[in-house]
Amino acid sequence: MNQAPKIGLVSLGCPKALVDSERIMTTLRAQGYSFSRDYAGADIVLVNTCGFLDSAKQESLEAIGEALNENGRVIVTGCLGVEEGLIRETHPSVLAITGPHQYESVVSAVHDHLPPVPNRFVDLVPESGLKLTPRHYAYLKISEGCNNRCSFCIIPQIRGDLVSRPAAGILGEAEGLIRSGVKELLVISQDTSAYGVDIKYAESKYRGRDVKAKFYDLAKELGQLGAWTRLHYVYPYPHVDQVIELMAEGLVLPYLDIPFQHASPNVLKSMRRPANQEKTLDRIKKWRDICPDLAIRSNFIVGYPGETEEDFEFLLDWLEEAEIDRAGCFKYEPVTGAPANELDGIVPDEVKEERFAQLMEVAQDVSFHRLSQKVGRTIDVIVDDVRPEENRVIARSKWDAPEIDGQVIVSKADGIKIGDIVSVTVTDNDEYDLFAEPAAH
Ligand code: SF4
């Protein structure tokens, strides 16, 4: 099985450098890297240096030397990185050197010398997200591994059972990200609603208070940090209701990414999906009563072994009734080592294709209908890209995650910058996107 590539990190210097180190770690962790506490267990060592005083320079050079002796594969970043000549003269064998506050360059140097192992059956970050995340949003990984045993999935075999991070560590990291300019936190894990189960919801001290490692408590704390907080990979358990209340209060974005994968009870049972006994349609209705603005994004698998025409029709009806705002779809394909490979009832490829096209058509109609209800509203959007030549910016609403959902295309957008959160009035929509203009003041 492919193990996650491991990185050792030595962080020297001031709190700013520490924020950079956190940002680097957050990005790499979200991309599937793991961290080693010692040199021996690391595939590569990053040294985040300080170059403010001569003594700090000396300390940094010594730290690079130690990492080279102990491990041999070293990337240097941070303030001393501006003195590349000095570093190369002292330590010619370092693999790469980048300067301060250049987390993007460090991460790409890591990609060059220790490539990530992209695997769409395992990764949490969308493939396109492996390119560097812009500074205004960041993926925040709250746990590793998974306690579920879905029959089509090999993640528990690769990553093991759920291992949750203490709440204080996650909150400290989130704070650091916000200090470094992040305005939107994308919370990821294999099963976000299961957060803390493995450590019995243990408390940890954060800003002098005890915070439980529990989904609700963590969401609430993150929501109070002042950035947009978006929750991915949640399952429809009863305790999620409470988190919807946080959305209604505006603390957490009114957005839930729930990979339902199917709706037919027979298929869900065969897939061994978490929360497959829950009455999800009732649950979704309840959530929308609590928070009418809630957007649900989901993914579905068509052509799973044993999926009958009735199962598929059931799924299409369910999708319409649940009004899933954003739906992605995969045609089932076996993953080496997954228990589902033993199942009978293989669905022919042409049937998979047909079901895929049908599902996407229904999903598109639902999406169009949901988006048309937003026309005329004034909403906040976060800006991902600017197109000055067209006087437009490409932004996202609270209902859209980066890379996987739609966009809000804002015209008459003079002076708006990447990372700005601005108020716009929605003027039109198509199947996936909204069109808007800055709101009148
Ligand atoms: S919830 Fe299921 S699909 Fe997701 S990681 Fe766990 S076992 Fe795999």
Output the pLDDT for position 144.
Answer: 84
195 CA distance to ligand 1 middle (Å): 13
What Rg value do the Cα atoms of the chain yield, rounded?
23
What tokens appear for 405 in the block?
């959902």
Ligand 1 within 6 A of CB of 274: yes
Distance 145 CA to ligand 1 centre (A): 9
Atom of ligand 1 nearest to the CA of 154: 8
Is the minimum distance from the CB of 148 to ligand 1 under 6 angstroms?
Answer: yes
pLDDT at residue 1 in the model: 46
List per-block mean pLDDT (blocks of 10 residues) for the chain, which spans 441 residues.
Answer: 80 74 83 87 92 82 95 93 92 92 85 80 60 77 91 84 94 88 92 95 95 97 97 92 96 96 95 83 95 96 96 97 95 88 93 97 97 98 94 97 94 94 98 95 66
156 lines ligand 1 (CB under 6 A): yes
Residue 258: per-residue pLDDT: 95
Per-residue pLDDT at 63: 94
Whether residue 235 contacts residue 274, with contact meaning beta carbons closer than 8 Å, is answered with yes
Contact 37, 7 (CB under 8 A): no
Positive/negative CA dihedral, 74, 77, 82, 83: negative
pTM of the model: 0.82
Spacing, Cα 289 to ligand 1 middle (Å):
29
Cα 179 to Cα 380: distance, rounded to the nearest angstrom: 21
Pocket test for ligand 1, best of 141, 153, 300 (most atoms within 8 A of CB): 153
